[in-house]
């Protein structure tokens, strides 16, 4: 194994720093032509051949040969059985995490509202949960029971009528914790399919997989690309790229803690990105030494090493203010503020999926059980998007209920604007309800 101090070093004082940072952050795989074409072919096959295509792709990509689609459907009883197959400690941990995630998300629930104007006109917004949501739970390189909770609980809190989950089971290896989590979270139906074919099945429906209204959840490049292509046919939450962590440290946290925090996201994927920013150059050296020391002890050392050396960085800045500027430029999925007084810096953080405050709040706590969602905007998209939440499973309809007097008064404004747009049906529709004869005469009626 090569020495991990091959991790890139950047200095914000370098005149080319902005260019180097852009290069470090670029992640092009989603637009890769060959992936795109393969995903389009998969979507087309699922639309044309439904279940038969799902069975074929599951054999091809997941190494799982089945007689028919029926073998890729898990009934609710199978989820209940999983609950009896995990340890008591595992069940308690899942239930505790689920309870915390549920309480946090209850706070996000939006209610319908309305107000009444002086003439009796009522205006408002009606909030309605989605009828059916599709949850993608990744299962290629690792299994994610925590992602089941993070996707399904907000949907259930929102009041979604039916929650359909898809999860690949490579070579038929079923993860009991994933199924137990689905049982605890109240998932209604589970299909053991993955990749672009699972996203296509949820978006278009097949003989067995019901068509959903929205597909949510993270996944690899094939999943992300498929979500991009089915958007419009169904809603999607976001296009999630590889996991990321940005640690901003004042140099006073144990370097082993910081190295492990970086590893915690690097171990997800060779393309994951782990970056440390600090004004303390000696501290950066200490973390590099901790990386070298700890890497050989890691189960997923090869993935971590590829990620850290390929996409990681230690960035030296002149002070904490510059560290915050760099953080806002990166707009990371996860930002750890491993500093003495994180509250003092919080107001200046403008872009981050989740912010972990202080030396004791490791990002891993947020991944499993703190309560907030771990499905977060990646690749700089925290500039314009937010964590997965209850709001992703609710939609809004506007309510307009005019009184007779209100319709007459508003009709005048509508009439003038409609005639300005040369839309006379609009104008006359509004004018039928106007009681003011002088106004109507002025409009040529
Ligand atoms: N943002 C989050 O909250 C979050 C949570 C958990 C995981 N993740 C990320 O999700 C990703 C999970 O990826 P994964 O690969 O482990 O699981 P995955 O379930 O996303 O992908 C596995 C599927 O990819 C398809 N596939 C694999 N190789 C293929 C090929 N050559 N051609 C076509 N299809 C192919 C297969 O159908 C397989 O079922 C990781 O990047 C991880 O970091 C993100
Ligand atoms: N860190 C991932 C999101 O980027 C979520 C996760 C699941 N399990 C562990 N971590
Ligand atoms: Zn994680």
Q: At what angle do helices 301-311 and 255-266 cross, to 10 degrees?
A: 100
Question: Is 105 in contact with 154 (CB distance < 8 Å)?
Answer: yes
Tokens matching residue 425 = 């049906």
Ligand having the closest approach to the CA of 268? 1
pLDDT band of residue 327 (cuts 50, 70, 90) is: very high
Q: Among 221, 344, 200, 330, which residue's Cα sits nearest to residue 276?
A: 330
Mutate to test the pocket of ligand 2, among 136, 147, 151, 265 (most ligand atoms within 8 A of CB): 147
* Tens-place pLDDT, residues 364-414: 999 999 999 999 999 999 999 999 999 999 999 999 999 999 999 999 999
What ligand is nearest to the CA atom of residue 137? 1
Ligand nearest to the CA of 387: 1
CA distance 283 to 252: 8
Contacts of 66 (CB under 8 A, 6+ apart): 55, 58, 59, 72
- The ipTM assigned to this model is 0.97
- Counting ligand 1 atoms within 8 A of each CB, the residue from 64, 194, 220 with the most, and so the one to mutate, is 220
Contact 418, 430 (CB under 8 A): yes
Extended strands (E) in 96-211: 113-116, 122-129, 132-136, 162-166, 189-191
CA separation, residue 156 to residues 149, 164, 240, 375 (Å): 10, 11, 22, 16
> Which letter, b or e, does each residue of 402-439 get, where b requires 16 or more Cβ atoms within 10 Å of its Cβ?
bbeebbbbbbbebbeebbeeeeeeebeebbebbeeeeb
Q: What are the pLDDT digits (tens) for 51-110? A: 999 999 999 999 999 999 999 999 999 999 999 999 999 999 999 999 999 999 999 999
By alpha-carbon position, which residue is closest to atom 36 of ligand 1? 195
Catalytic-residue membership of 334: yes
Q: What pLDDT band is residue 5 in, cutting at 50, 70 and 90?
A: low
Which of 230, 193, 98 is closest to 151 using CA atoms? 98
Q: How far apart are CA 259 and CA 334, in angstroms?
A: 15
Region of residue 65 (left: phi > 0; alpha: psi -120 to 50; beta: else): beta
Q: Atom 38 of ligand 1 has which residue's CA nearest to it?
A: 195
Say if CB 377 and CB 385 are below 8 A apart.
yes
Q: Which of 219, 244, 332 for a ligand 1 pocket mutation test, highest count of atoms within 8 Å of Cβ?
A: 219
What is the spatial distance between Cα 348 and Cα 321, in angstroms, rounded to a whole number? 9
pLDDT of residue 172: 94
Phi, psi of 406 (to 5 degrees): -65, -45
What's the confidence (pLDDT) of residue 444?
A: 82
Q: pLDDT tens, 282-310?
A: 999 999 999 999 999 999 999 999 999 99
Atom 1 of ligand 2 has which residue's CA nearest to it? 367
Closest residue by Cα to residue 177 from 59, 100, 89:
89
Q: How many helices (H) and strands (E) does the chain have?
A: 17, 15
CA–centroid distance, 135 to ligand 1, in Å, is 13
**Active-site annotation holds for 333:** yes
What are the distances in angstroms from CA 149 to CA 7, 94, 172? 34, 8, 22
| Average pLDDT over all residues of the chain | 96
Cβ contacts of residue 287 below 8 Å, gap of 6+? 255, 258, 259, 262, 276, 278, 314
**Do residues 125 and 141 make contact, with C-beta atoms less than 8 angstroms apart?**
no
424 CA → ligand 2 middle, Å: 56
Tell me what the mean pLDDT of segment 132-146 comes to. 93
The catalytic position among 334, 336, 363, 431 is 334
Residues with CB under 6 A from ligand 1: 38, 61-62, 138-142, 144, 147, 168, 194-196, 218-220, 222-223, 240, 242-243, 268-269, 272, 374-375
Please report the pLDDT score of residue 111 as a whole number: 96
Residue 72's nearest CA partner among 50, 47, 100, 48 is: 50
pLDDT single digits (tens) 239-260? 888 899 999 999 999 999 999 9
Whether pTM exceeds 0.90:
yes
Which own/partner contact pairs does 341-349 have at CB distance under 8 Å and 24+ positions apart?
Answer: 345/248, 345/320, 348/321, 348/324, 349/324
CA-closest residue to ligand 1 atom 24:
195
The answer to whether the beta carbons of residues 237 and 217 sit under 8 Å apart is yes
**Contact, 331 vs 37, CB < 8 A?**
no
Given pLDDT bands bounded at 50, 70 and 90, which one contains residue 2?
very low
294 contacts 264 by C-beta, under 8 angstroms = no
Half-sphere exposure of 94 (CA within 13 A, CB side): 27
């Amino acid at each position: 194994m090569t020495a991990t101090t091959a991790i890139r070093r950047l200095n914000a004082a370098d005149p080319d720093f902005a260019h180097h940072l852009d290069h470090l952050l670029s992640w092009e795989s989603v637009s890769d032509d060959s992936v795109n074409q393969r995903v389009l072919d998969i979507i087309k096959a699922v639309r044309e051949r439904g279940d038969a295509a799902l069975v074929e792709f599951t054999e091809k990509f997941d190494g799982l040969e089945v007689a028919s689609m029926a073998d890729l459907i898990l009934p609710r009883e199978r989820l209940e059985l999983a609950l009896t197959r995990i340890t008591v400690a595992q069940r308690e941990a899942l239930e505790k995490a689920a309870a915390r995630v549920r309480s946090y998300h209850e706070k996000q629930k939006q209610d319908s509202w309305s107000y009444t104007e002086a003439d009796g006109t009522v205006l408002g917004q009606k909030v309605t949960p989605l009828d059916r949501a599709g949850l993608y739970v990744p299962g290629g390189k690792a299994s994610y029971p925590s992602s089941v909770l993070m996707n399904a609980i907000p949907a259930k809190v929102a009041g979604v009528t039916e929650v359909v989950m898809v999860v690949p089971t490579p070579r038929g290896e079923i993860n009991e914790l994933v199924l137990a989590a689905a049982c605890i979270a109240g998932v209604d139906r589970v299909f053991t399919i993955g990749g672009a074919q699972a996203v296509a099945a949820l978006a278009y429906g097949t003989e067995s997989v019901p068509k959903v209204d929205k597909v949510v959840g993270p996944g690899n490049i094939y999943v992300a690309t498929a979500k991009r292509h089915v958007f419009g046919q169904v809603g999607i939450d976001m296009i999630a790229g590889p996991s990321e962590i940005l640690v901003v440290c004042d140099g006073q946290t144990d370097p082993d803690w910081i190295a492990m925090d970086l590893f915690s996201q690097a171990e997800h994927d060779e393309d994951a990105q782990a970056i440390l920013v600090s004004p303390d150059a000696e501290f950066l050296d200490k973390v590099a030494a901790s990386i070298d020391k700890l890497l050989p002890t890691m189960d997923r050392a090869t993935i971590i090493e590829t990620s850290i050396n390929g996409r990681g960085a230690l960035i030296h800045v002149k002070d904490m203010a510059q560290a915050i500027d760099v953080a806002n430029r990166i707009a990371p999925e996860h930002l750890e503020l491993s500093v003495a007084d994180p509250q003092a810096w919080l107001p200046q953080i403008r872009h981050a999926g989740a912010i972990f405050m202080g030396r004791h709040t490791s990002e891993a706590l947020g991944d499993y059980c703190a309560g907030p969602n771990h499905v977060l905007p990646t690749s700089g998209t925290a500039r314009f998007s937010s964590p997965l939440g209850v709001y992703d499973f609710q939609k809004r309809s506007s309510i307009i209920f005019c009184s007779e007097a209100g319709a007459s008064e508003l009709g005048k404004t509508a009439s003038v604007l409609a005639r300005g747009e040369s839309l006379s049906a609009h104008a006359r529709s509004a004018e039928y309800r106007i009681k003011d004869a002088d106004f109507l005469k002025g409009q040529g009626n």
